[in-house]
Amino acid sequence: MTNGEDVTDEVRVFEQQCGRINDIVIRMLNITHYRTKEYTENTKIFDL
């Protein structure tokens, strides 16, 4: 693999991860209700 191909693969992965982040942000912007649930003994997390 040449150095240019390495960069192309890294950019492709970066774009895919940005898409995943975008999907999560869109879902968070559309939250209309939530609840919390126990995660560990003294920690709660949002259950979306």
In degrees, to the nearest 5, what angle opens at C-alpha 18 toward C-alphas 12 and 40?
Answer: 125
**Can you give the pLDDT at residue 5?**
83
**Can you give the pLDDT at residue 4?**
72
Three-state SS letters, the chain: CCHHHHHHHHHHHHHHHHHHHHHHHHHHHCCCCCEEEEEECCEEEEEC
pLDDT digits (tens, 9 = 90+) for 24-45: 999 989 988 889 999 999 999 9
Which amino acid appears at position 15 of this protein? Answer: E
- Residue identified by tokens 């003294």 is 42
**Can you give the pLDDT at residue 46?**
85
Mean pLDDT for 3-28 is 93
pTM, 2 dp = 0.61
